[in-house]
Amino acid sequence: MSTPDPFRQRFRLQWVVTAVALSLVLLYLAQLKGMFEKRLVLAFQTDSAVHLFEGMKVTYKGFEVGKLTQLSLAPNGQVQGEVQIREQHKGFFSKGSVLRLSKEKIVTAELVLQRDDTQSAAMDPGEHIAIVREDLAADLTKRLDPLLEKLQLLLTQMADPHDGVQASIKESRQVMLQTSETLKHTTHAMKEIGDEERGLPAVLGKTRDTMQALEPTAQQATRTLKELENSLVQTRKTLDNADKLIHNVDQTVQEVHSAPVYRWLVPKKSPEPATKP
């Protein structure tokens, strides 16, 4: 009797566990999608299946409330189908409601719920709901009207005599004329500046020559100023010596006046008597 292979048994066990886990995940995703929910089934009948397809969204105010689940061609040439509405959204489908085929999106179309607000009773399961198609001309008109209004506004703004195209062109022409005049004056000024005889190069050349000619004079003036500075220093010293000499002489004179010999040789004069009137 052969013993069972443990590797094969472990492989079978892993396969069974994986299959169960995958099944649980699929069931969970199906539950999230609402596949096991109770749904309101409504039937419809229309002349053409153009722009209709199974899996088409049924929306209300931008929210998905259901899907078109069945679409077939009847023997009488009519197109029959069914839509399934989620349980929590069935209250929006009141008596007299219709599904409008909307092509507002570029890629695909949707069935948009249009309620009859005058009625509050909900539709019964299996009840027929009408599908309304927009007229092509009306749809084009609705899409083109805003564009035409914007185009008309643009044309009105362009034709404005104060702020329109003509006014802008007139202002641009004036600016161009002023710019042209400015460029002419600038060109003339640049030509005068660049003139070799009377322009900036000639003035700079003359200035350079004058500075070169004045350089010896400036050097001589510098030397003269230095000599004058030396003379002023010597004069200041001489004046200081003379001041000292005068001070000594004054001191000597005072000493002579105060000597007894001087007072004996040069007596003081007596004051003259006052004359009587």
Same domain for 166 and 93: no
Helix (H, G, I), strand (E, B) or coil at 105: coil
Same domain for 97 and 151: no
Same domain for 67 and 52: yes
Same domain for 114 and 37: yes
Same domain for 233 and 161: no
Instruction: Using pLDDT thresholds of 50, 70 and 90, give the confidence band for residue 264.
Output: low
Residue 200 lies in a domain: no
User: How deeply is 241 buried, as exposed, middle or buried, from its count of CB atoms within 10 A (0-12, 13-18, 19+)?
Assistant: exposed
Q: What is the chain's Cα-based Rg?
A: 60
Q: What is the mean pLDDT of residues 68-74?
A: 93
Residue 166 lies in a domain: yes
The mean pLDDT of the chain is 79
- In the predicted structure, residue 250 carries a pLDDT above the cut 90: no
Contact status, residue 43 vs residue 129, Cβ threshold 8 Å: yes
Q: What is the mean pLDDT of residues 220-226?
A: 84
Which among 138, 118, 116, 117 has a CA at the least distance from the CA of 129? 116
- In the predicted structure, residue 106 carries a pLDDT above the cut 60: no
Q: In angstroms, rounded to a whole number, what is the distance separating the alpha carbons of residues 91 and 181?
A: 78
Instruction: Using pLDDT thresholds of 50, 70 and 90, give the confidence band for residue 79.
Output: very high
Percentage of residues of the chain with pLDDT beyond 90: 20
Same domain for 39 and 122: yes
Please tell me the pTM assigned to this model.
0.40
- In the predicted structure, residue 66 carries a pLDDT above the cut 90: yes
Give the tokens for residue 241.
């010596």
Angle at 128 between CA 114 and CA 32, to 5 degrees: 70
- In the predicted structure, residue 191 carries a pLDDT above the cut 80: no
Residue 37 lies in a domain: yes
Same domain for 102 and 56: yes
What is the domain count for the chain?
3
Residue 20 lies in a domain: no
Residue 62 lies in a domain: yes
DSSP per-residue string spanning 203-264:
HHHHHHHHHHHHHHHHHHHHHHHHHHHHHHHHHHHHHHHHHHHHHHHHHHHHHHHTSHHHHH
The pLDDT tens digits of the residues spanning 171-183 come to 888 888 888 888 8
Same domain for 124 and 151: no
Residue 103 lies in a domain: yes
Considering 165-169, 215-219, 252-256, the range whose residues carry the highest mean pLDDT is: 215-219
Q: In angstroms, rounded to a whole number, what is the distance separating the alpha carbons of residues 71 and 83?
A: 9
DSSP 266: S
Domain span including residue 243: 211-257
